[in-house]
Amino acid sequence: MQAVSSLEPAIPIALCLGGLDPSAGAGILRDALTLWEVGAYPMGIPVVETIQNGLGCGKIVAPSIPPIERLESLGPHLQGVWGVKLGLCALPLSDLRSVVALLAKFAPRCSIWDPIQAPTSGVGLHDGAGLRRMAEIILGQGAWVVCPNRPEAAAFGDLKREASPEQLAQAYLGFGAKAVWLKGGHGTGLVEDFWVDATGSTSLGVRPRLAGDRRGTGCTLASAWLGFRLRGAGDLAAARQACAWMQDRWPRAVLPGGIGRPSFAPVVP
């Protein structure tokens, strides 16, 4: 009797480069949880390692294995429909340059950079000048969407947080970003995100601030965008879908071990 193949049809691959948070509240483990749920196959390469839990981050160091070696090993998988997300990064600039160049050679369908300065609680990593040095490398290779929150965009452009969306986005566009998704979750009152590109700015809609707190919201939004984008949505449509997806998931939260800030709970079939 001939065996029946159990192979599933090909699904898009989402490669995430970011922090290794052992508690999975943020970083590449949180990315993987999100991407699997939205229908993409996650792969991950740590470009920073942390001592971190639900209470905060106590240490940030460069990864113990050079990420370029891991990226080279994944090269055979990065075919067809695939995309990349870059998050918190502690690589020397020379190593970052090699990684970004190889990513461009593999030609991702879409790319998103979440320019994280530091985890919400605990030790920091980058200032605005450091992120600008990274931008010279990242945004010069390929078509990257950048998704900062207002404090990150203000630090990057040496501006006040109250600056207009166009002003906050301009520095990234000047470095070569395809578009800037300015996230409004760190403001007060109502939440409003903006999508800014060479044609101007578009509001993603005004919505009430949801009650409570969640870990890894930036990682979750950016990885959801990547998943929806790889599933066929356009750039702006994928941002709208990611916002709606997070609002839907917000009420379901978990405290692993009963401590720390709440994380997004997995959806159990």
Q: Which residues of the chain have pLDDT under 50?
A: 1
| Dihedral (Cα; 164, 235, 246, 19), 10-degree rounding | -90
In a domain, 89, yes or no: yes
Amino acid 40: pLDDT = 97
How far apart, in whole angstroms, are the C-alpha atoms of residue 106 and residue 78?
7
215-243 pLDDT per residue, tens: 999 999 999 999 999 999 999 999 999 99
In a domain, 115, yes or no: yes
Residue 1 CB contacts under 8 Å (≥ 6 apart), including other chains: none
Residues of the domain holding 40: 13-254
In a domain, 194, yes or no: yes
Start-to-end C-alpha separation, the chain? 33
41-71 pLDDT per residue, tens: 999 999 999 999 999 888 999 999 999 999 9
In a domain, 198, yes or no: yes
In a domain, 267, yes or no: no
In a domain, 192, yes or no: yes
In a domain, 260, yes or no: no
Amino acid 261: pLDDT = 93
Amino acid 1: pLDDT = 45
List 203's β-bridge partners, or say none: 194
Domain of 93, CATH number, reads 3.40.1190.20
Q: Counting every residue, how long is the chain?
A: 269
Tokens 């065996």 correspond to what residue?
3
Q: What global pTM score does this model have?
A: 0.93
In a domain, 134, yes or no: yes
SS3 262: coil
Domains: count for the chain: 1
